[in-house]
Amino acid sequence: MIERQRRWYEQEKWAVRRTIESVRALPESARADERYQRALDKIAHVLVARQIWYERLAGVEPRGDGSAEGMPIDRIEALNAEVEREWDDYLGTLDDARLRNAVDYGAPGGPTRSSTIGDILLHVYTHGFYHRGQVAALVNSLGGEPAQTGFIMWTREGR
């Protein structure tokens, strides 16, 4: 099980990088369009959400307020590198038995919830799928080439 989770995460990292590259490749003329920032906001949202889930899983104090809007692409790339390092380290601590452990979490002032680590990891990956699809539609609407980020595309590259 843990090896599958690590594999899914490697695909997630690859897909986020390709998505960022697809936005970066848009022509300068597209950057004045509000859809350009919306695409960046979607990527930033995925990264900030992944960071929040990491903090919940790692039992560390949240660093930010969860806001993701208005980040420039350079900041998004830096955040992506930071989040990748955190998740690489965290996933390195897991084994099959720990995937079944429950984690309690909640937003400030909200109810406490509980989910298994394995379920949280799956949520993190599918959340990324959803928003990368939105970014692909925005990139396409701006005349760019949307990143092909499906799992099977990743495996075709020899992974």
Q: What is the C-alpha to C-alpha distance for residues 63 and 67, in angstroms, rounded to an integer?
A: 11
Domain coverage including residue 7: 2-156
pLDDT for 91: 96
Mean pLDDT computed over 18-26? 98
Confidence of residue 93 (pLDDT cuts 50, 70, 90): very high
CATH of the domain at 126: 1.20.120.450
Q: Is the pLDDT of residue 122 over 90?
A: yes
pLDDT for 63: 80
What φ, ψ does residue 19 adopt, rounded to 5°? -65, -45
pLDDT for 88: 96
User: 116: which strand partners?
Assistant: 102
Residue 6 falls in which region: left (phi positive, over 0), alpha (psi -120 to 50) or beta: alpha
pLDDT for 149: 95
Q: How many domains does the chain have?
A: 1
pLDDT for 64: 75
Mean pLDDT computed over 7-34? 97
pLDDT for 109: 79
Model pLDDT for residues 31-67, shown as the tens digit of each residue = 999 999 999 999 999 999 999 999 999 998 778 777 8
Do 20 and 76 contact (CB within 8 A), yes or no?
yes
